[in-house]
Chains A and B, each alone.
Chain A
Amino acid sequence: MSDVEVTPEPQPQLHGCLLSDSRGQQVVHPTRAQYVALMKKLLDGGFVMCSDLTAADYLTHSGRTLPEGIEAERFEIVVNLTAIATRDRIRVRVQVPESDPSIASMFDLWPGTEAMEREVFDMFGISFDGHPDLTRILMPEDWDGHPLRKDYSIGRIPVQFKGSNS
């Protein structure tokens, strides 16, 4: 049961962003400032399909493994890209601070991220700059809170029936 491999010296990089290995899968760690430029380069480099875009809330799991130089923040945007021609996959993890939960939208590069970003907005309350229609997608419009945040506990919130009088 080997843990995540220790990154060798010097740290591997891709397009100026730190690269790590998670169970044999490639992971890039851009900063928020590098995010858009990196994604553009990846798209031009053949990653034509954005398979998945999601987020994780690390509120109660602060000691996670990150390459040196990446400062852990509460939220993390996780994007899985697929290159059809080379049959390759890559994962991009971006740290998003709690104080300013926002990040650039990938809609202009992969229009298919539209629904996924709305889902992340709905579930985590992270907003995406440049998204054409950033509204809740799974929860009703008048719902309070963002259910997949770790401080949104299950069982304590009264059931909300939308449209009822009480």
Chain B
Amino acid sequence: MTSVENIFKTNEGAQEMRARSEISAKEILREVGSVLRMSEAEAAKLGQIPADADEDQTMIINMGPQHPSTHGVLRLMLELQGEKVLRCKPIIGYLHTGMEKTGEELTYMQGGTNVTRMDYLSPLNNELVFSMAVEKLLGIENDIPERAIWMRMLLSELNRMSSHLLFLATNGMDLGAVSMMLYGWREREEVLRFFQKVTGLRMNHNFIRPGGVAADLPAGWRDDVLAILEMLPGRLAEYDILMTDQPIWRERLQGVGVITADEALALGTSGPILRSTGVAWDLRRDQPYLHYDKVEFDVIVGSYGDAFDRYAIRINEIRESIRIVYQILDAMPLGDYRIQNKKVTPPPRARIDESMEALIHHFKIFTEGFKVPEGEVYVGIESPRGEIGCYIVSDGGPKPYRIHMRAPSFVNIQALPHMMRGGLVADAVAVISSIDPVLGEVDR
């Protein structure tokens, strides 16, 4: 059905999926989801291009960028034979706003407002990794006050819950459990309400900053957190009744979008996708940051690597997060919430009225920012979607010379062609949903 002229009518040109006769064997293998390993044994396979069907029996269609189940503006080009997906190619860039370029123009003080907008469903994790990278460059990573560290953990765990709750909501809606959409948003709203109380904003907080956090916890925060922790287990049990134990739900997800551990590692995936294959890799446990080595929690792994495993991992990670937050409540110490280092911390408001020097310092730190010693550093942490990394190069000035964010979704969607191969179009929706991509982070 397809012809070359039809494919080239839009402007993405060579980025789009092209007819089989036009592209190299390697690219076809990529698009049918073969994971290439050039070991001697498998090099022979290179020549074998799957003889799926004649080109006149297949059809290339677009799914997205405006398709509601693509979670934003992800565009998939699918080669179909009937209802079967033969090839798949994700086309991204529709939300590209040049945030890495923007980041080079913002001081380290302002950088948080930029990175928090990348993965807009887990903004606090973005700020955390950025702050940790800057602190490492400054050499103050071991001087962060205890209370700030525990506050960061509290916020990032609550953020993990809100992000996974939204996953449950969208996953439910994508697969026809529309009421789950409402329940997921409802529970997430409770968490966001707490964030609003603490940071002043529901999303894009710019609350975790180099040197600590922006403000102390408000009065009554403990009761608010406890209210969330007590509300959630009951609701999660309801989700189990609504979805996990339900045969239709299981039929819809089990055995869909299967990926093996070797393939997931080769493709660089992380987070629930890697763990669904049985690889127990969680940076919170394996390369502990903050005080994750002082709390007890389990790393949830799956065994089949299918969409159901990825769903089950996320719902159980909420339960683990609840467990962690209870321990954080017990451990939360009193004290400073940001480092008392004049270099990175602006003077408190009260001092500005009394001291000329404090006023000048305040003005300088907000207009010029603080200088960071020359060097380069990479920090990776576990966001709800996988490993989020921040690579910063400093030339000794107040702005990053180069800032790069390793976005988990950007890497994870590379697994789509592999997971979709041979499945049905209807399952494609389940597969995209199980990856849980955030397009703001994919395109940056």
Contact = CB atoms under 8 A, between A and B. Distances in A.
B139 interface: yes
A50 interface: yes
A133 interface: yes
B277 to A, nearest CB: 12
Nearest to A49: B265
Interface residues of B, number: 59
Contacts of A52: 378, 389, 391, 404, 406
B19 interface: no
A11 interface: no
B38 A22 contact: no
Contacts of A89: 287, 378, 380
A51 B139 contact: no
Contacts of A50: 268
Interface string B325-364: 0000000000000000000000000000000000000000
Q: Is the interface of B mostly helix, strand, loop or mixed?
A: mixed
B101 A148 contact: yes
A42 interface: no
A139 B13 CA distance: 11
Interface string A53-69: 01011001100110000
Interface in A94-125: 107-116, 119, 123
Contacts of A56: 376, 393, 401-402, 404
B36 A3 contact: no
B266 A115 contact: no
A80 interface: yes
A110 B268 contact: yes
Interface string B129-147: 0000000111100000000
B387 interface: yes
Contacts of B243: none
Nearest to B25: A132
A112 B266 contact: yes
Contacts of A48: 265-266
Interface in B25-67: 26-27, 29-30, 35-38
A115 B416 CA distance: 12
B13 A141 contact: yes
A29 interface: no
B391 A135 contact: no
B268 A61 contact: no
Interface string A123-155: 100000000110111111110000110000010
Given A114-B30, A148-B101, A54 B391 contact: yes
Closest 3 CB pairs of A and B: A112-B268, A141-B13, A132-B26
